[in-house]
Structure 1
Amino acid sequence: MIFLTRKAEFSSAHYYWIDDWSEEENRRVFGKCANRNGHGHNYTLEVTVAGDVDPVSGFVVDLKQLKDILEREVVSVYDHRHLNLEVPEFRTSIPTTENIAIAIWKRLDGKIPHAKLHRVRVYELPDLFADFYGEEAFGEQA
């Protein structure tokens, strides 16, 4: 088995806010990220798949097909969007780096032929990223 990672990038806006909390509590916990107008990031996505190398092609997965899947399932949905307002999974979930990684996993799981999704890594900043290895890695529901 070998692991192969492909990168993609998207730019999105978001904010952090819990409706059941007061404005003061949201600002205390989330700071600048509680600005309801949002702020943006240039995200980097790394998707790692696992599988066996095809003896004929030498690939674990068709690289163009993987790029097309990332474009269709993630980039075209998240790029130049306000995550809270325009992406369905974040209407009820705060688009933290962690939740974005989980949401991307759910978008990709089972859609990559001939390989198993191993890891989704989302960089919000060069020094801030979240890894998700799927529900099975933790033995619980995400």
Structure 2
Amino acid sequence: MESSNPILEIYTRILFSAAHSYRDKHKSPEENRGKYGKYSRIHGHNYEVILGLRGPIDMKSGMMINFFEVEQILKEKIISILDISHLEEDIPWFREHLPTTENISLFVYHQLKRAFPPSVILVSVEVRETPDLGAKISNE
């Protein structure tokens, strides 16, 4: 078998539940209803997050990264913050950024982009609000 260190991508998935609403704080409730419809009311989702990580395989361990380490990072940086939260009430960043699927993806990306060892690159974050609605951020 070759002794070179091939680069590979791995994917992992996490779930969290959160509530949010689409409300522009500079607009009245009526204006928000007109702009966002039923989504201006508080509602929740069971979000799915799929992360893509890229790096070399450590030939001794046979791993790019230990999944136990990945789980710990995700619990600390994502689950402990987002799960069972009201995004714009509990997380200061969402008081200034509408809690869209796109912005949730961006938040997760920024929480994780420097959380992994230097040899592991966060290449993508996909957040799905429903099976039919999601957003994916890629650094490529």
Judge same fold: TM > 0.5, yes or no: yes
Superposed, which structure 2 residues align to 1:58-97 within 5 Å? 58-97=62-101
Q: How large is the RMSD of aligned CA atoms in angstroms?
A: 1.1
> 2:131 is matched with which residue?
126
Identity %: 35
Q: 80-89 vs 22-31, which deviates more? A: 22-31
Residue 11 of structure 1 aligns with which residue? Answer: 17
Secondary structure of the corresponding residue to residue 91 of structure 1: helix
In the TM superposition, structure 1's runs of 4+ consecutive aligned residues that sit over 3 Å from their partners are: none
Which residues of structure 1 form unaligned runs of 5+? 138-142
Gaps (5+ residues) in structure 2? 1-6
Deviation per CA, 1:2-23, whole angstroms, max 9, x where unpaired? 1111111100000001122333
CA distance in 2, matches of 1:74, 1:118: 17
| Deviation digits for residues 4-46 of structure 1 (CA, Å, limit 9, x no counterpart) | 11111100000001122333331122111101xx111000111
TM-score (norm 1): 0.89
